[in-house]
């Protein structure tokens, strides 16, 4: 026998069920895509013609546009579609500090409330930006304030590149310049270990070097590493920009005390990777050597350094230490630094004392730590080295 529905059910109105909220659409971070990736996104995901990718890319990476509304030569319909499906990752200026020497340190707030810093260093013949690649750093070098933060997260390619666009905007405004890209040089020596965020670094370099983007020459970009040995090989094979090694010691004992990475890859392993590095003709590897008083700045250190660098096309940048409260090291006296430089030169190693920029605003090497920001109070990720 068939079941019959009771009449009452037929007569009563259908229950009103709550409409489930639509699943949030994950926005594609288009400012993190190379031109090829952006072309794929526009044609395959949005059904647009490929030339639109070039227009969008140039808006983001030549003019530094931070919203789709600025892109007036894109149709309104396309701009609306982009707003529904894509985003340009913004960095909001949170603070700026100006040094007496013209250096400006910028602190940016990321979308998820993190803080990073970039340092603008103008000089007569160049305008250089020191760029960050991570929020905090896992490498824990004991002389460095960033190292005390631990690693919070990697920056996306869009966030790395956004520092360059934002400072270009600032320089244009501050210095009354018309040129779209006043910055001439980039050094990846800000917060973080660039090779510990290699894929995002590589994508950001591809964007920064692209002709439809800011078009930086490989000669004007330097990436500095503490010495993640397997990544140095990949870096040499997959990019063409300049390499700097943060060496800072003449013995493993010294280096392991200040740079924990040395316990995994010691000086011999690091210099072996440097000897195998595919250098372009006429190019040298820069070795950075932070001078720490009575720790690594003796005549014996200079003699050992000469021996270590034998056979490597090298130049040494000697960096007088910027004292950081609580980290326990002192800066080398000027005379001692000069003597150290002379000894290296006598041993046929090109050596320079690097002018310290932005010391008075804690914007110099090893001093970036988001003072006033919030990163320092959070827990951090443990390092995962390649
Ligand atoms: S010196 Fe560089 S790699 Fe070492 S902790 Fe500081 S930011 Fe990280």
CA gap 370, 20 in Å, rounded = 42
What digits encode the pLDDT tens for the residues 68-79?
999 999 999 999
Distance 190 CA to ligand 1 centre (A): 8
Ligand 1 neighbourhood includes 193 CB (under 6 angstroms): yes
Element (H, E) at 350: strand 350-353
How large is the average pLDDT for residues 331-337?
93
Question: How many C-beta neighbours within 10 Å does residue 147 have?
Answer: 25
SS3 state of residue 84: helix
Does residue 131's CB lie within 6 angstroms of at least one atom of ligand 1?
A: no
- Judge whether 177 is annotated as a binding position: no
Atom of ligand 1 nearest to the CA of 137: 8
- Which one of 226, 289, 321 would you pick to mutate in the ligand 1 pocket, going by the greatest count of ligand atoms within 8 A of its CB? 226
Q: Please identify which of the residues 48, 87, 117, 170 carries the catalytic annotation.
A: 117
Measured in angstroms, how far is the CA atom of residue 81 from the centroid of ligand 1? 41
Q: Is 193 annotated as a binding residue?
A: yes
Cβ of 144 below 6 Å from ligand 1: yes
Contact 139 CB / ligand 1 (< 6 Å): yes
Tokens of 380: 């951090």
Query: What's the gap in Å between 312 CA and the centre of ligand 1?
Result: 24
Is the C-beta atom of 244 inside 6 A of ligand 1?
A: no
At 379, is the pLDDT very low, low, confident or very high (cuts 50, 70, 90)?
very low
Q: What domains, with CATH codes, occur in the chain?
A: 28-87 (1.10.150.530), 92-376 (3.20.20.70)
Contact 366 CB / ligand 1 (< 6 Å):
yes
Question: Which of these is catalytic: 87, 130, 170, 365?
Answer: 365
Determine the distance separating the centroid of ligand 1 and the alpha carbon of 282, expressed in angstroms. 28
Take residue 42 and report the two structure tokens written for it.
């526009």
Measure 84 CA to ligand 1 centroid, in angstroms.
39
Q: Checking phi first, is residue 219 left (phi over 0); if not, alpha (psi -120 to 50) or beta?
A: alpha
**Would you state the pLDDT for residue 12?**
58
Q: What CA–CA distances, in Å, run from 67 to 28, 191, 274, 315?
A: 14, 26, 42, 43
Helices and strands of the chain, counted as H and E runs: 11, 14
Evaluate: CB of 48 within 6 angstroms of ligand 1: no
Backbone angles phi, psi at 302, to 5 degrees: -60, -45
> Does 154 belong to an annotated binding site?
no
* pLDDT tens digits, 300-330: 999 999 999 999 999 999 998 887 777 778 8
CB-based contact 53:74 (threshold 8 Å) = no
130 is in an annotated binding site: no
| pLDDT greater than 60 at residue 121 | yes
Q: Is 36 annotated in the active site?
A: no
CB neighbourhood size of 381 (10 A): 12
Across all residues in the chain, what is the average pLDDT?
90
How far apart are the C-alpha atoms of 68 and 74, rounded to whole Å? 9
Verify whether ligand 1 is closer than 6 Å to residue 226 (CB atom).
yes
C-alpha to C-alpha distance for 216 and 200, rounded to whole angstroms: 17
Tokens standing for residue 334:
């000027």
Is residue 144 annotated as involved in ligand binding?
yes
| Partners of residue 302 on adjacent β-strands | none
pLDDT at 377 over 60: no
CA of residue 161 to ligand 1 center, whole Å:
20
* Angle at 75 (CA atoms; ends 72, 79), nearest 5 degrees: 80
Check pocket membership of 147 for ligand 1, CB cut-off 6 A.
yes
The pLDDT assigned to 372 comes to: 56
pLDDT for 364: 56
pLDDT at 39: 98
What's the full length of the chain, in residues? Answer: 386
Are 153 and 114 contacting, i.e. CB atoms less than 8 angstroms apart? Answer: yes
What is the H or E stretch that residue 199 is in? Answer: helix 198-209
Query: What confidence score (pLDDT) does residue 3 get?
Result: 42
Cα gap 303→296, rounded to integer Å: 11
**Structural element, H or E, at residue 198:** helix 198-209
| Percent of the chain residues past pLDDT 70, beyond the cut | 88
Dump pLDDT digits (tens) for 205-257: 999 999 999 999 999 999 999 999 999 999 999 999 999 999 999 999 999 99
Inter-residue contact 166 to 93 (CB < 8 Å): yes
Whether 117 is catalytic: yes
Ligand 1 within 6 A of CB of 141: yes
Q: What are 205's two structure tokens?
A: 């370099």
Closest atom of ligand 1 relative to the 192 alpha carbon: 7
Exposed/middle/buried for residue 382 (C-beta within 10 Å: 0-12, 13-18, 19+): exposed
Q: Which atom of ligand 1 is nearest to the CA of 259?
A: 4
pLDDT tens digits, one per residue of 174-192: 999 989 999 999 999 999 9
Task: Report the pLDDT value the prediction gives residue 28, as an integer from 0 to 100.
Answer: 96
3-state secondary structure of 193: coil
Measured between alpha carbons, how far is 129 from 120 in angstroms, rounded to an integer?
A: 5
Distance (Å) from CA 383 to ligand 1 centroid = 12
Beta bridge partners of 108: 93, 116
């Amino acid at each position: 026998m068939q079941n019959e529905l009771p009449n009452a059910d037929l007569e009563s109105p259908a229950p009103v069920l709550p409409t489930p909220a639509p699943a949030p659409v994950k926005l594609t971070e288009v400012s993190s895509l190379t031109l090829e990736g952006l072309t794929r996104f526009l044609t395959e995901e949005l059904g647009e013609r490929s030339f639109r990718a070039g227009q969008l890319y140039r808006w983001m990476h030549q003019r530094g546009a931070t919203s789709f509304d600025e892109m007036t030569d894109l149709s309104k319909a396309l701009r609306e579609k982009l707003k529904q499906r894509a985003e340009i990752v913004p960095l909001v200026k949170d603070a700026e500090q100006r040094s007496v020497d013209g250096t400006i340190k910028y602190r940016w707030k990321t979308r998820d409330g993190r803080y990073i810093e970039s340092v603008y260093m103008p000089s007569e013949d160049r305008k250089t930006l020191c760029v960050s690649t991570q929020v905090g750093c896992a490498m824990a070098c004991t002389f460095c304030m960033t190292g005390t933060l631990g690693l919070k997260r990697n920056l996306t390619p869009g966030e790395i590149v956004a520092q360059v666009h934002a400072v270009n905007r600032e320089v244009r405004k501050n210095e009354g310049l018309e040129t779209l890209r006043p910055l001439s040089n980039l050094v990846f020596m800000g917060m973080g270990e660039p090779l510990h965020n290699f894929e995002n670094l590589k994508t950001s370099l591809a964007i920064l070097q692209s002709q439809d983007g800011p078009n930086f020459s490989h000669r004007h970009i330097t990436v500095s590493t503490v010495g993640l040995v397997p990544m140095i090989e990949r870096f040499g094979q997959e990019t063409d920009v300049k390499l700097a090694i943060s060496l800072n010691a003449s013995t493993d004992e010294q280096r392991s005390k200040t740079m924990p990475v040395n316990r995994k890859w010691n000086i011999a392993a690091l210099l072996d990777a440097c000897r195998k590095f595919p250098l372009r003709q006429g190019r040298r590897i820069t070795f950075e050597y932070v001078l720490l008083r009575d720790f690594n700045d003796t005549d014996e250190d200079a003699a050992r350094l000469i021996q270590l660098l034998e056979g490597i096309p090298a130049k040494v940048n000697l960096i007088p230490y910027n004292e950081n409260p609580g980290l326990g090291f002192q800066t080398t006296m000027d005379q001692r630094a000069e003597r150290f430089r002379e000894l290296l030169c006598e041993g046929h190693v090109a050596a320079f004392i690097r002018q310290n920029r932005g010391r008075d605003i804690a914007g110099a090497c090893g001093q970036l730590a988001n003072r006033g920001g919030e990163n320092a109070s959070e827990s951090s990720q443990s390092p995962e080295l390649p």
